Structure 1
């Protein structure tokens, strides 16, 4: 298809539709009929361009025009239950699934750093001395670490944990604005803290207590952080290397996807907070508490893989339905 000839022949139609959309509150009956007719014609034009041309700029422009015209023509949103269902079966899991390599890499680096720091601290009396006195360290490993999970009422502690974890995750999401560059530092800070406690606990021979208290909630809690980090860094890289699509189009699509992940992770972190508040400090046998954590982690991973893979196969990106392909400029 000759794209230039196609644009030349149909530009008046597109311009007229754009004009009617902008005047949507002041249309006459005849103009409303004209808008519907033009919307159908331009939708056909968009299908032709998508199937016959690789001009991403033209596709983006027509997609935005069709989306705005559709909003005027339909005059209503999809039922709330349908949007809710789509979010949890498409929008959230597909974005997490598409970012899985970034998230897995973030998790692997996190655990590697934590392990190295833990070994370093456990084998270095000099480093331990810089952390605290022997009595302070003994107080931490024998009392404070375990008491942290039980010194407050379970309900208020669960809320406190949820807020704290949401803040760490929100930091990773927010750093996507800066191309994800600060995210490794945020992960390093948390990995260093985990490695410090692990090193002191294992050196004192209380590694079983450490793992028994961290694992139930830590698996899904840290997974949520890794997902946020992976999505944030993926957005940053997409802006740096957008491929053959306009940078604005990629930024708009990925930015909306990041928002979907931020909303979805609120629920994931709520589950982590409930486990940390009610399961971790409970009197249940350690094997049962750990099994609950593993089950929650497995359920989340299975959910993401099942719905994410299915959405990818259907060509979904996690973007909102009928979203413009470019960032609005005015």
Structure 2
């Protein structure tokens, strides 16, 4: 099909539909004409998609039909089913697709943290670098435990701090270097703190205080780093897709992941703000931490596997994202 000729023949109809869609008021004849043109242009879009899927023309007609559909049917508030679809399809699919990246990043960060902790706990010079003896003793004996004060204000501060770390990993992901820098510093900091606590025979206190909220909190930070690195790798190896298309698709899926991480960090912030520093037995606190982490991975693996098997990726739908030119291979 000759697209130029097709467009030349039908452009008057498209322009007329656009004009009617913009009018604030329509009489009876104009309303009937709007519906008739909407149906005609829908047929034109179907023809273009099936015979010569030019992305520019398809996007133009899709936008035109979306505007006309709103004029015909009236605007409406976003349906709850859209929110539900995001929560049970798009979000778990986005996490599931990067699950191995998350696992690898988690193992690497844990290894760095353990090495840093052992180094500080066993090397006097490394321990001395953590501060003067009086400051270290005050931190171990009082400051570390007193930091976890129950309450909504503390939970909000924790969520903001962790969300900022995750945002740096996600936002700087395209560089491939910045997420590694953030993850490395975070792992060294946690490991060194644990090593200092171990040097003063308070490793059990460190683990008890960090476990209730830290299991999910650190997993979310690792997931943010993994998502950022996945975006960088898309630039390096876009696969069968054109690099620009692949980057756009993965970038939109990254936004989906970022929203999910904000929620996960919010949950960990609530645990840290109301559970970690509470008077609950330590066994109950740690059980809560394990439970929320297990719930996260069950959500990813159960719903995510199902969504990916159905063809979802966490990206927008074709109508929302716009058409792209087909790629060979």
Q: TM-score range by the shorter chain?
A: 0.7 to 0.9
* 1:40 equivalent among 40, 43, 50: 43
Q: Deviations over 1:58-91 (max 9, x none)?
A: 5644653454244124214674311111110112
For 2:168, the equivalent position in structure 1 comes to: 171
Would you say the 8 A contact 1:179–1:237 is kept in 2?
Answer: no
CA distance in 2: counterparts of 1:13 and 1:145, whole angstroms: 74
For 2:99, the equivalent position in structure 1 comes to: 100
Q: CA deviation at 1:306?
A: 1.4
The range that moved more, 299-308 or 7-16, is 7-16
The range that moved more, 185-194 or 132-141, is 132-141
Q: CA deviation at 1:190?
A: 0.6
Would you say the 8 A contact 1:63–1:324 is kept in 2?
Answer: no
Q: CA deviation at 1:171?
A: 1.2
Q: CA deviation at 1:285?
A: 1.7
Would you say the 8 A contact 1:220–1:297 is kept in 2?
Answer: yes
Segments of 5+ residues of structure 1 without an aligned counterpart are 50-57
Q: CA deviation at 1:110?
A: 1.0
Q: Is 2:66 the counterpart of 1:71?
A: yes
Q: CA deviation at 1:236?
A: 2.1
Q: 1:306 to 1:283 in 2, by over 3 A?
A: same
TM-score normalised over the length of structure 2: 0.84
CA distance in 2: counterparts of 1:244 and 1:6, whole angstroms: 28
SS of structure 2 residue aligned to 1:131: coil
The range that moved more, 66-75 or 201-210, is 66-75
Q: CA deviation at 1:96?
A: 1.0
Q: Deviations over 1:124-171 (max 9, x none)?
A: 001111222222222222221111113xx5221111111111111111
| Alignment RMSD | 2.7
* 1:281 equivalent among 277, 281, 293: 277
Paired residues, number: 312
SS of structure 2 residue aligned to 1:106: helix
Q: 1:12 to 1:227 in 2, by over 3 A?
A: farther
Q: CA deviation at 1:181?
A: 2.8
Q: 1:312 to 1:6 in 2, by over 3 A?
A: farther
For 2:267, the equivalent position in structure 1 comes to: 271
Q: Deviations over 1:305-325 (max 9, x none)?
A: 111111111111212232234
Would you say the 8 A contact 1:97–1:304 is kept in 2?
Answer: yes
CA distance in 2: counterparts of 1:43 and 1:131, whole angstroms: 67
Q: CA deviation at 1:199?
A: 0.6
CA distance in 1: counterparts of 2:96 and 2:17, whole angstroms: 36
The range that moved more, 313-322 or 246-255, is 246-255
CA distance in 1: counterparts of 2:215 and 2:90, whole angstroms: 23
For 1:55, the equivalent position in structure 2 comes to: none
The range that moved more, 61-70 or 141-150, is 61-70
Q: CA deviation at 1:9?
A: 7.7
Would you say the 8 A contact 1:122–1:202 is kept in 2?
Answer: yes
TM-score normalised over the length of structure 1: 0.84
Q: Is 2:152 the counterpart of 1:155?
A: yes
